Structure 1
Amino acid sequence: MKVTRIAYAKELNQGKCQALAEQAWRLGGVRTLVWDRFGSLAGVGLSDRVIRDAWMADGTASTFGVGANAWKETVRDAVADIRASREAAKVQVRRAVCKRISDKYERKRLFGLIKNDGWRDDSYLSRLMRRHWKRGGNHAANQIVVRADKYRTFVLSEGGDVWLSIPGLPGAGQVRIPLNTSVAPTGTLRLILRGGRVEVHFQIDASVMRSSARPHGAAKIGVDKGYTEVLVDSEREHHGRGLGRLLAAESDHRKVKNQRRSKLRVVAERARDRGDHAKADRIWKHNLGTLKRERRTARFRERVRTLTYEAVHSVVDKAHTVVAEDLSRSFSGHTRRGREMNRRLAAWTRGLTAQALHDVSERRGSALVLVNAAYTSQVDPVTNAFAVRRGDRLHCSGGVVWQVDEAAAVNILQRDGDPDITLFTPHQRVRQILQERIDRQRTRLPVQDSNVSPGGRGERSI
């Protein structure tokens, strides 16, 4: 398993910044060309080598104005992005096939066509791919991909920070970048120019990290992803408290900030309409920039990521098997929450939580099991009957009241290995299965009857 690490350039002069920005801008044109020509059906089944050889033969490569290895690595990276978007669409197509096709042999045939890109010759699969595979495009003109054998690292003094030397534009020589780390990057590098800084992304083996040496626990635990906290486990322990406050505070800050920016934007537009271009330019330059906003967003994401991974580590500390809900699909509810609550929930980081569960479990050797999440927060964990949810409380029969996330975690643990409810069972069918189980339990109970039987009991057995 590989993990990504980021090093930052420090004290980079203006000449080097301009050289890197120019090279990244030209490579952005290469990336855009790949997406425009091969981002749809024309790119299915084509490798980056086929595209590279064709462009070298017809002279397209000579128009890029960058080094050969630089644009070739960019082509490879763009083709990989296109393939990733296509594979993500295939996941949705497989779910649609499972939902509609019941015959297992027909399913197997369709799955084989999807896997081997033979879906183009099947009208049903072609229709599904057109529905789920949206045509993408390139919006990145700030990246440089450097192959492992095309750069070198060195230090000016023993134990000092590392310098990175990468190829520049043709005829411009090497660009030497001082980094803020004493650990030399390895493998393929990705340089990203963002927020006035140069980021150097590289991958290392997860086995060398200290967290990989931490042992996992011995229990089997179910977890529910929450908003006020990162996770709640089936032992009623809450992990990552304070997530909701952090998300709500940042969302409220963005609301106020954007409202004020909108007012300033109106003032600038009115000033330009009056002919006062100097005032409009000053407002756009000093008040409507994005540099501080991007840096604040980066710090916020780092805080949320740290809190999330710490919570997942605390779960794995006591679990050898983690049973979690699959929240990769969107859920449409009928509850009206209001604009403010919807705005805050839009910042919910359930995708980050799912990624953290996968990464930490794989890194530390514990098992991660995904189950169907339908109705896990609406069922009594003891009787498996439907209960009434009011806010964060679940009111069950007999006057028992559960905290919703704690009840959901217990239900998620119990759903592991359920023979009737699989990961892709539709939520309508899940409700039917749960209701049928409740009805079967009720038929086994004695039915109260007002007529007393000859045996003297006020019950009737069926």
Structure 2
Amino acid sequence: MKVTRIAYSVRLNPGKYAALAEQARRLGRVRSEVWQRYGSVAGVGSGLTDRRVRDRWLADGTHVHFAVLANAWKETVRDAMADIAANLAAAKVAVRRAINRRTNDPAERKRMFTALKADDWASDPFLARQMRKHWKRGFNRTHDQIVVRADKYHTAVDGRGRLWLAIPGLEPRKLIRIPLSTTVAPTGTLRLILRGGRVEVHHRSIANTAALRGDHAKAHRVKANNLGIVKRERQAARHRARVRTEIFTAVHEVVDKAATVIAEDLTKRFTGRKQLPKNINRRLAAWTKGVTAEALKNVSERRGSALVHVNAAYTSQACHRCGRFGRRGGDRFHCTSCGVVWQADVNAAINILQRAGDPDIALHTPHHKVKQILQDRTDRHRTRLPVQDSSPATTGRRANYPNRSTVSDK
């Protein structure tokens, strides 16, 4: 993907804009002529290139009718032929799919793919039909653009530090100078687009220049950070402030209704089969999880509510009604035992609430032990066995915090 930078004209003289608009209009006629003559199977499909088109027009005098400088119409021809080639390439994609549907013979597919790539489809009836079907003659609708070659313009900075771009006009050796809104001089081939009295100067960015000289690492960095540091940080700050407001508002609404808040411990690092780098863990833990943990702590302390942290292991994978493990897909939890589909977050929230009174699962119980406890409970439920742990301390805790996941023998 090519990255394009855009510079804008500043307080451009109306006379200059009119001269540029007239030049763009005449070059639009050049584009239309290219599409009319070569925007079909018989044009580019016959292997015609922009250089051969230029040579033909110079030989037969077609270029005289455009009334523009030679470099201007030649660059326009090159640009229009590139557009036609792109249109042709898009049509070939559909034809390749048609070839795959037509035959499974590798040799026949290779033959047709080769003919398609070499633009030699006219002799094959199937390819000719498919090309006529998928490649329709295009039409030019561009009459507001000027393409300027890299060696046909120059830039200069005046005494006030303003950058000026000088490009050829309609008359030889007479340049049109355009004041720009940037201090970064454009490079490479330029595309000038005229809109509403202002000129947009599109040019290749630093990323493309770096890629051309082989510095792909720099090109990737520029593409990934093309917004600029200041603008990107401003957007990130607005996003953080919006998320923080939403989280604190939600926590206040919860505390309004409950004197005790049961929540999972959000200060723990993310765990999983794939070991994440420290930087990723820090970013994940320090963002929404960290803001939520901060909101729960601060709001509960200021408003006198009790905040109880519980072990949240497997709360999103077990059914809150029967305690058995089920399947979670997106925002739905399927309990294979109950045959019920729960809203996944609601099911997990109920499990977290029940976990507060669980006498066997403490806050720091390892997750593999939590899984074993849950499996033992479901096994006892199926066999109707009594709960093994009947110590006085455990019995007292069960009386104070009844757990819906455990089933006693009655």
Which sections of structure 1, spanning at least 5 residues, go unmatched?
A: 216-240, 243-316, 319-381, 404-462
Contact 2:190–2:201 (CA<8 Å) still a contact in 1? yes
Moved over 6 A (4+): none
Question: Structure 1 210/154 Cα, relative in aligned 2: closer, same or farther at 3 Å?
Answer: farther
What is the TM-score normalised by the length of structure 2? Answer: 0.53
Q: What does residue 197 of structure 1 align with?
A: 198
CA offsets 1:48-84 (integer angstroms, 9 cap, x no match): 1111111111111111110000000000000000000
In the alignment, is residue 31 of structure 1 matched against residue 61 of structure 2? no
Contact 1:146–1:166 (CA<8 Å) still a contact in 2? yes
Aligned to 2:111, the other structure's residue is in SS state helix
Q: What does residue 73 of structure 1 align with?
A: 75
Structure 2 residue aligned with 1:63, among 59, 62, 65?
Answer: 65
Q: Which residue identity lines up with residue 3 of structure 1 in the other structure?
A: V
Q: What does residue 8 of structure 1 align with?
A: 8
Q: Displacement of 1:92 after TM fit?
A: 1.0
Question: Structure 1 91/176 Cα, relative in aligned 2: closer, same or farther at 3 Å?
Answer: same
Q: Displacement of 1:179 after TM fit?
A: 0.4
Inter-partner Cα distance in structure 2 for 1:213 and 1:15: 37
Inter-partner Cα distance in structure 1 for 2:38 and 2:223: 43
Inter-partner Cα distance in structure 2 for 1:48 and 1:164: 27
CA offsets 1:216-268 (integer angstroms, 9 cap, x no match): xxxxxxxxxxxxxxxxxxxxxxxxx99xxxxxxxxxxxxxxxxxxxxxxxxxx
Question: Structure 1 395/146 Cα, relative in aligned 2: closer, same or farther at 3 Å?
Answer: same
Q: Displacement of 1:400 after TM fit?
A: 6.0
CA offsets 1:77-123 (integer angstroms, 9 cap, x no match): 00000000000010111112122321122111111111111112111
Inter-partner Cα distance in structure 2 for 1:401 and 1:138: 54
Q: What does residue 145 of structure 1 align with?
A: 147
Matches within 5 A, 1:328-407: 398=336, 399=341
Matches within 5 A, 1:186-265: 186-206=187-207, 207=210, 208=218, 211-212=221-222
Contact 2:206–2:222 (CA<8 Å) still a contact in 1? no
Q: What does residue 107 of structure 1 align with?
A: 109
Q: Displacement of 1:170 after TM fit?
A: 2.0
Inter-partner Cα distance in structure 2 for 1:36 and 1:47: 15
Aligned to 2:3, the other structure's residue is in SS state strand
Inter-partner Cα distance in structure 1 for 2:123 and 2:141: 31
Q: Which residue identity lines up with residue 116 of structure 2 in the other structure?
A: I
Inter-partner Cα distance in structure 2 for 1:107 and 1:196: 53
Inter-partner Cα distance in structure 2 for 1:129 and 1:18: 42
Q: What does residue 85 of structure 2 align with?
A: 83
Q: What does residue 175 of structure 1 align with?
A: 176
Question: Structure 1 212/26 Cα, relative in aligned 2: closer, same or farther at 3 Å?
Answer: closer
Q: What does residue 17 of structure 2 align with?
A: 17
Question: Structure 1 168/101 Cα, relative in aligned 2: closer, same or farther at 3 Å?
Answer: same
What is the TM-score normalised by the length of structure 1? Answer: 0.47
Which sections of structure 2, spanning at least 5 residues, go unmatched?
A: 211-217, 226-241, 244-278, 281-325, 346-410
Question: Structure 1 97/213 Cα, relative in aligned 2: closer, same or farther at 3 Å?
Answer: closer
Inter-partner Cα distance in structure 2 for 1:137 and 1:126: 21
Q: Which residue identity lines up with residue 30 of structure 1 in the other structure?
A: V
Aligned to 1:137, the other structure's residue is in SS state coil
Number of residue pairs matched? Answer: 236
Q: Displacement of 1:171 after TM fit?
A: 4.7
Structure 1 residue aligned with 2:156, among 148, 151, 154?
Answer: 154
Q: Displacement of 1:205 after TM fit?
A: 3.7
Higher CA-based Rg:
2
Inter-partner Cα distance in structure 2 for 1:59 and 1:28: 18
Q: Displacement of 1:209 after TM fit?
A: 6.0
Aligned to 1:63, the other structure's residue is in SS state helix
Q: What does residue 166 of structure 2 align with?
A: 165
Inter-partner Cα distance in structure 2 for 1:93 and 1:194: 37
Question: Structure 1 123/214 Cα, relative in aligned 2: closer, same or farther at 3 Å?
Answer: closer
Contact 1:12–1:177 (CA<8 Å) still a contact in 2? yes
Contact 1:2–1:205 (CA<8 Å) still a contact in 2? no
Aligned to 1:198, the other structure's residue is in SS state strand
Q: What does residue 353 of structure 1 align with?
A: none
Q: What does residue 308 of structure 1 align with?
A: none
Contact 1:65–1:170 (CA<8 Å) still a contact in 2? no
Q: What does residue 307 of structure 2 align with?
A: none
Contact 2:162–2:179 (CA<8 Å) still a contact in 1? yes
Question: Structure 1 151/118 Cα, relative in aligned 2: closer, same or farther at 3 Å?
Answer: same
Aligned to 1:191, the other structure's residue is in SS state strand
Q: Displacement of 1:194 after TM fit?
A: 1.5
Contact 1:168–1:174 (CA<8 Å) still a contact in 2? yes
Inter-partner Cα distance in structure 2 for 1:14 and 1:78: 28
Q: Displacement of 1:162 after TM fit?
A: 1.5
Question: Structure 1 117/402 Cα, relative in aligned 2: closer, same or farther at 3 Å?
Answer: farther
Inter-partner Cα distance in structure 2 for 1:29 and 1:107: 41
Contact 1:5–1:204 (CA<8 Å) still a contact in 2? yes
Contact 1:89–1:132 (CA<8 Å) still a contact in 2? yes
Q: What does residue 293 of structure 2 align with?
A: none
Question: Structure 1 5/50 Cα, relative in aligned 2: closer, same or farther at 3 Å?
Answer: same
Q: Which residue identity lines up with residue 55 of structure 1 in the other structure?
A: W
Question: Structure 1 75/214 Cα, relative in aligned 2: closer, same or farther at 3 Å?
Answer: closer
Contact 1:19–1:168 (CA<8 Å) still a contact in 2? yes
